[in-house]
Amino acid sequence: MSSPDWSLHPQLAHDTVPLGDLALSRVLAINDANYPWLVLVPRRPDVVEIIELDEPARAELMAEIARVCAALKAHTRCDKLNVAAIGNVVPQLHVHVVARRKDDTAWPRPVWGAAPARAYATTELSAFVAALRRALGLA
Amino acid sequence: MSSPDWSLHPQLAHDTVPLGDLALSRVLAINDANYPWLVLVPRRPDVVEIIELDEPARAELMAEIARVCAALKAHTRCDKLNVAAIGNVVPQLHVHVVARRKDDTAWPRPVWGAAPARAYATTELSAFVAALRRALGLA
């Protein structure tokens, strides 16, 4: 399901640490210790909107969203998952999956623009990435 | 795919006008003239997260999201679609599909919390709802 012509948008590369590749999407962890926050990026060139994916890829994207949601929920025991494809700033199609807690810095607001990103301590980020890699079978 | 035990959350009922029912979801229009904005609500009782839907319902939800995205894009010729399941305030699972323009009041920020809702003129809202009903085969 991948394409040789695809590459990760530089802004997404800058803000994240890669976990690995599912059948369709690259999975990234956002370096923001305010919230456990993963992003799925379908490895298809020039795709901006979900409706620009063909039907099998859209179905796979939903399956991968569910897989990432389940892994993040199990790891964090969060109060709510937030799932969103926005892309007003970075056009390359990417789907946010954010684990929210009722005591996090932005609750109940959405996370985008709510608070400046807070970088993880290196060991904290490594532990988060390692745990989610294992949970997603990407280790 | 519907359930007799399901009913629309009162807050969603208050903020919207119904367009009709697809196989899984009720389609609603948000009464906010700032943005053409539809919401899909799977008619399954007590479902809060996408991962609480069974696999066939998740696949149907993605198909219905794509159908609503395509209809909204064709009707509005928007610059970007924003698709999100957040639910921090209204827990009943609902998926926002918002048509964004680079000159809308919140661009490039997400719409949630960005600007107070601006009620449509009655005729404007009727025209929007009628057009999207036709586009979605709900007329």
For chain B, the farthest-separated pair of C-alpha atoms sits apart, in whole angstroms, at 42
Model confidence over B48-107: pLDDT tens digits?
999 999 999 999 999 999 999 999 999 999 999 999 999 999 999 999 999 999 999 999
Size of interface A-B (CB pairs under 8 A): 101
Q: Quick check: A51 and B58 CB within 8 A?
A: no
The whole-angstrom distance between B85's CA and the closest CA on chain A is 5
The whole-angstrom distance between B126's CA and the closest CA on chain A is 26
Q: How confident is the model at residue B1 (pLDDT cuts 50, 70, 90)?
A: low
pTM: 0.97
Locate all alpha helices (DSSP H) within chain B, ordered by sequence.
10-15, 55-76, 122-135
Is this prediction's ipTM beyond 0.90? Answer: yes
Per-position DSSP letters for A21-90, written without gaps between them: E-SSEEEEEES-TTS-EEEEEE--TT--SGGGS-HHHHHHHHHHHHHHHHHHHHHH--SEEEEEE--SSS
Return the axis-axis angle of helices A55-76 and B55-76, rounded to nearest 10°.
120
Q: Quick check: B85 and A82 CB within 8 A?
A: yes
CA dist., res. A24 & res. A40, Å (int): 9
> Which residues of chain A neighbour B107 with C-beta distances below 8 Å?
88
Cβ count near B10 (within 10 Å):
10
Question: Please, which residues 14-53 of chain B have a Cβ atom closer than 8 Å to chain A?
Answer: 48-51
> Which residues of chain A neighbour B100 with C-beta distances below 8 Å?
88
Model confidence over B110-128: pLDDT tens digits?
999 899 999 999 899 999 9
Model confidence over A23-80: pLDDT tens digits?
999 999 999 999 999 999 999 999 999 999 999 999 999 999 999 999 999 999 999 9
The whole-angstrom distance between A59's CA and the closest CA on chain B is 6
Of A58, A69, A88, the CB nearest to B108: A88
